[in-house]
Structure 1
Amino acid sequence: MEKVFFVLGDSPPHRVQSPSSIQTFNQCQRKYFYSYVEKLPTVPSVATTRGAIAHSVLEHFFDVSLEGVSWENCSSKFKQVVQELLVREWVSHKSEFDSFALLQEEQVALFEETLHMVFGWVDQFVQRLAAQGGDVSSAFRALTPVREVNYQSAKWHARGVIDVIEEFGGKVRVMDYKTSNHTNIDEYRLQLGIYALLYFEKHGRLPDAAGVYFLRANQTHFVNVDDELLERARQEILKIHEHTQSLEKHRYPRHISYLCKWSTGQCDFYDHCRADPD
């Protein structure tokens, strides 16, 4: 989880906010307090670990050697690459998977589902590659994005790590990967708006598009990048700065909802919150 920090020289100090910290605040202010003010430790989950693995696989995919890759074999070659990357990442996260106490068949099913996700993404990528035309290497280089870019704005005291920035045909797209069940782009409108705002602050122009690769559903959805999107991002950033100056817990009320505890898990701070007097 992204952590906030203080910017020196400002009075009063502003925490530097991120899409995840703002989302946490909007879901439950007490959870925000535990995570970003008290900085209580969190534990990995199956969902967050699998998400990190999928992100890493797609990030490193673009470092692949293109020797021997042709239009005839590029799909199979690329799927072999992502499968090898996935195996490597899975092994490197073995201790985390062991801590989840999953049955062997559950781990196998999770691996196969994740492999299916990245295979679906490869299919989409090959389609875009073919649309470029020319030779495979040139098309691949043209579609290779800037990856894992850390943007910070001193003006807005905000930051965000953009998964991919794609530039081709004179157009710029800021994109995020999601492995969740949900494909409702409206749930990610604020996150994408903050990314667009950060991009605008740095480059002096808006991205032409902002969207999400929903890996589980093998779908790609976009939001309109316009003044309305940026204005909402600005207002949400201002709102959270206004409401998070205090270090006093009682100023961060609990919000009891289905996000406290559900059938397969619970909030990282569920037990602490229940035992913590107001």
Structure 2
Amino acid sequence: MRGRTDTADAAGETGSRPLRPALSPSRAGDFMQCPLLYRFRVVDRLPEEPSAAAARGTLVHSVLERLFDVPAAERTLEAAVALLEPQWAALVEHEPELASLVGQQSADDSAWFADAAELVRRWFALEDPTRLEPAERELYVEAEVDGLTLRGYIDRLDEAPGGLLRVVDYKTGRSPSQLFEAKALFQMKFYALVIWRTRGVVPRMLQLVYLGNSEIVRYVPDESDLLATERKVKALWQAIERAAATGDWRPHRTRLCDWCSHRALCPEFGGTPPPLPDGAIGLALDPVRAGETSPVDE
């Protein structure tokens, strides 16, 4: 059966490079949602068609990041909306496959850009960028916890006098129900844990900005929260290691399956996953060696 690795892989060596166990909030969320989804994305590296909604979210994030490049007085709604098309062009230049989603000068394209502009307008109704001076934007953070590298990208980090930190994450969808709110807060606590372990400071505030329905969710963490998050991350990684060692990436059926790109391969829907690739353990535990060219894809 494919999926077994040689002794060096199992011991933590892959080729000439040591295995580097690493986990981001996105991949942690994948495994918690469905271990088979984690396998499809991290081990099999199955392609997923880009969606217009996801691309719109990427565009809005890009505009909200770039807006802070100009002086405070120039951070107007009009200036932000004017950034949409040039930022989209920059994204397409970096990822040409996005051009198939938007760019045919059709009515659908106009509606797509109008929807993006509406999300930007909602942000202006929630926050005033002329009164904000982020300490960091699209900040890459990384910390090692018992040999496991935790890493991620933070949309915005605000710092108040006295060193008080606020971690801000933009969401272009709607705020989740209570059933799914814990997942969003886990992501923010993950970031807070990394900041605490690298800077020795517990962020004063975690803030999720939901543009889909114009809502802000705030949470004040403490050390006990972050210690619990650390224990959860360690337990989650142990579960990933067991799945990698046994090849048992069992599916977990939920309502989120309706949006999965890999239903045709899922046993829950009558499908059959592909054979595990050679070196599956190393691929499962070391995303960089698996071909992840950027640190994470939050």
Does the TM-score normalized on the shorter chain lie above 0.5? yes
CA deviations 1:110-146 (Å, max 9, x no partner) are 32122122122224333x74xxxxxxxxx55xx2331
Residues 175-214 of structure 1 aligned to structure 2 (within 5 Å): 175-184=168-177, 185-214=181-210
Is 1:147 equivalent to 2:153 in the alignment? no
Is 1:217 equivalent to 2:223 in the alignment? no
Which residue of 110, 113, 120 maps to 2:112? 110
Over the residues paired in the alignment, what is the CA RMSD in angstroms? 3.0
Instruction: Report the equivalent of 1:122.
Output: 124
- Alpha carbons of 1:179 and 1:96: their partners in 2 closer, same or farther (altered >3 Å)? same
Which residue of 34, 40, 51 maps to 1:45? 51
- Secondary structure in structure 2 of the residue aligned to 1:252: coil
Which residue of 151, 154, 166 maps to 1:159? 151
Q: Is the 8 A contact 2:102 2:109 kept in 1?
A: no
Q: Which runs of 5+ in 1 are unaligned?
A: 1-8, 130-138
Could you tell me how far apart the structure 2 residues matched to 1:106 and 1:122 are? 25
Instruction: Report the equivalent of 1:83.
Output: 81
Letter in 2 for 1:174: V
Q: Is the 8 A contact 2:35 2:250 kept in 1?
A: yes
CA deviations 1:224-263 (Å, max 9, x no partner) are 21134213321221122112225367411011222222xx
Letter in 1 for 2:142: Q
**How far 1:93 moved relative to its partner?**
5.1
- Alpha carbons of 1:188 and 1:228: their partners in 2 closer, same or farther (altered >3 Å)? farther
Could you tell me how far apart the structure 2 residues matched to 1:103 and 1:29 are? 40
Q: Is the 8 A contact 2:208 2:216 kept in 1?
A: yes
- Alpha carbons of 1:249 and 1:59: their partners in 2 closer, same or farther (altered >3 Å)? farther
Instruction: Report the equivalent of 1:239.
Output: 235
Letter in 2 for 1:220: I
Instruction: Report the equivalent of 1:257.
Output: 254
Identity of aligned residues (%): 24
Q: Is the 8 A contact 1:197 1:233 kept in 2?
A: yes
Instruction: Report the equivalent of 1:34.
Output: 40
CA deviations 1:80-122 (Å, max 9, x no partner) are 2211211212344565253489993333223212212212222
Instruction: Report the equivalent of 1:269.
Output: 262
Greater relative CO (CA pairs within 8 A, separation 6+): 2
Q: Is the 8 A contact 1:45 1:100 kept in 2?
A: no
Is 1:55 equivalent to 2:61 in the alignment? yes
- Alpha carbons of 1:20 and 1:214: their partners in 2 closer, same or farther (altered >3 Å)? same
Letter in 2 for 1:119: R
CA deviations 1:124-178 (Å, max 9, x no partner) are 333x74xxxxxxxxx55xx233111111112242111111100123321011010
Instruction: Report the equivalent of 1:168.
Output: 160
- Secondary structure in structure 2 of the residue aligned to 1:154: strand
**How far 1:50 moved relative to its partner?**
1.1
Q: Is the 8 A contact 1:145 1:167 kept in 2?
A: yes
Q: Which runs of 5+ in 2 are unaligned?
A: 1-8, 13-18, 276-298
Could you tell me how far apart the structure 2 residues matched to 1:37 and 1:117 are? 35
- Alpha carbons of 1:199 and 1:10: their partners in 2 closer, same or farther (altered >3 Å)? farther
- Alpha carbons of 1:121 and 1:104: their partners in 2 closer, same or farther (altered >3 Å)? same
